[in-house]
Structure 1
């Protein structure tokens, strides 16, 4: 009991735990991440300065840029889009407009991952167009 208020300072540490993507086995550079290679584990995200992934889908199908060890947290800096089309590959160019679609042979002038835009040479007309990669050996242009 006192007429003057007083304050007590208590040291505290705040931690935020969240499920993040970790590797379940060591992965090498250029490996493509499979479903069995990653899992969700609870970690203190306050200590993860380079970021983290929260969904397995963010890692599965991606290519490793650097090697990892078992139980390591995956960051966006570890991954890049896996190549679906390589430079020089023969591809099918699909031009779509509504329900109409036209297919023609082409050659990829750059490598590209799923949904990336790359340059492609139409082998019939020899014109170079920008197309979006839609699958292995397949690209799409809009009309």
Structure 2
């Protein structure tokens, strides 16, 4: 039914310019909606921090490519890769993660607050962790292992049992 209506529209000479404007209006947004993707220029290995020097922004020419890939440099720069990323291939957002705030084996401060009393000691985390994660930390002075929450300043806050 729709095709018959369009066929009748093109028979009338005064409606041809209107029909052409209609078709042009359909194609212009498609041209304006260019999609871009971020692709590596070099091989990026798992656990590697991604720098802007290893990335390029390219236009997506495959109409069958659906979302789920990085389209902006801010989504990728400074993140850690969880798998090998090949040059010229899109970067799936699922293969990126935030870098750890605390890494296993490094040194940090263990802080314990109770009322006005604050106790601080040197410690080493037993696991990698992000801000807000609960991890186990070994007190370097006593050898005791305690659990605490990773804070934004890189310390681990221990709570009373």
TM-score in same-fold range (> 0.5): yes
**Which structure has more strand as a fraction of its residues?**
1
Q: Secondary structure at the match of 1:17?
A: coil
Hey, what does 1:67 align to over in structure 2?
Answer: 84
Superposed CA deviations along residues 82-141 of structure 1, whole A, max 9, x for unmatched, are 334333432124679xxxx9753223132124x352414372785734323547xx2354
Decide which structure has the larger Cα Rg and report it: 2
Hey, what does 1:131 align to over in structure 2?
Answer: 149
Hey, what does 1:39 align to over in structure 2?
Answer: 56
Hey, what does 1:52 align to over in structure 2?
Answer: 69
What's the TM-score, normalizing by structure 1? 0.63
Superposed CA deviations along residues 35-77 of structure 1, whole A, max 9, x for unmatched, are 2112322225853336022332221222222222222211112
What's the TM-score, normalizing by structure 2? 0.57
Whole-Å separation in 1 of the counterparts to 2:37 and 2:145: 45
Q: Cα gap change, 1:45/1:93 in structure 2, threshold over 3 Å: closer, same or farther?
A: farther
Q: Compute the RMSD of aligned alpha carbons.
A: 3.8
Assess if the C-alpha contact under 8 Å between 1:31 and 1:63 holds in 2: yes
Higher RCO (CA 8 Å, separation ≥ 6 residues): 1
**Which structure has more helix as a fraction of its residues?**
2
- For structure 1, list consecutive stretches of 5 or more residues without a partner in the other structure: none
- For structure 2, list consecutive stretches of 5 or more residues without a partner in the other structure: 8-22
Hey, what does 2:98 align to over in structure 1?
Answer: 81
Hey, what does 2:137 align to over in structure 1?
Answer: 121
Aligned residues: 131
Whole-Å separation in 1 of the counterparts to 2:99 and 2:147: 22
